[in-house]
Amino acid sequence: MAVTGDETESAATGDMPAYQLRSPNSSLAQNIVMAASPGTMQSPSSQHAEEITRKREVRLMKNREAARECRRKKKEYVKCLENRVAVLENQNKTLIEELKALKDIYCHKAE
């Protein structure tokens, strides 16, 4: 899919989030289609444009939710890893102490 090309330009305007400024497939005239009053007769081409717009909105909505879920899972994964690090560090500490104790015992026996 081609990049719209107006992204960086729009993002620089600043009074609106970039994702609201970006136009979809440039020549679709989305805003005009959406402004058409409901209930009026529509030509086949405008119905087609409306269908494309609707599909895009559905896709964006699904992707929005997918991104949220993806971030949630990632955070959970990182938390899991951090927990595992803590557990392993404790184990390591315990083993070091155990080794030290065993060494002590061994040294006293050797005397």
Partner DNA sequence: TGATAGCAGCGTCAGGGTTT
Partner DNA sequence: AAACCCTGACGCTGCTATCA
Q: Does 69 bind DNA (CB under 7 A)?
A: yes
Q: Does 54 bind DNA (CB under 7 A)?
A: no
Q: How far is CA 96 from CA 77, 84, 91, 101, 106, in A?
A: 28, 18, 9, 9, 15
Q: Does 39 bind DNA (CB under 7 A)?
A: no
Q: How far is CA 40 from CA 33, 36, 43, in A?
A: 12, 8, 10
Report the residue number, 15 or 111, with the smaller CB distance to DNA. 15
Sign of CA dihedral 68, 69, 70, 74: positive
Q: Single out the segment in contact with DNA by CB under 7 A; choices: 38-46, 73-81, 86-94, 97-105.
A: 73-81
Interface residue list for DNA (CB under 7 A): 1-4, 7-8, 11-12, 14-20, 22, 24, 60-64, 66-71, 73-75
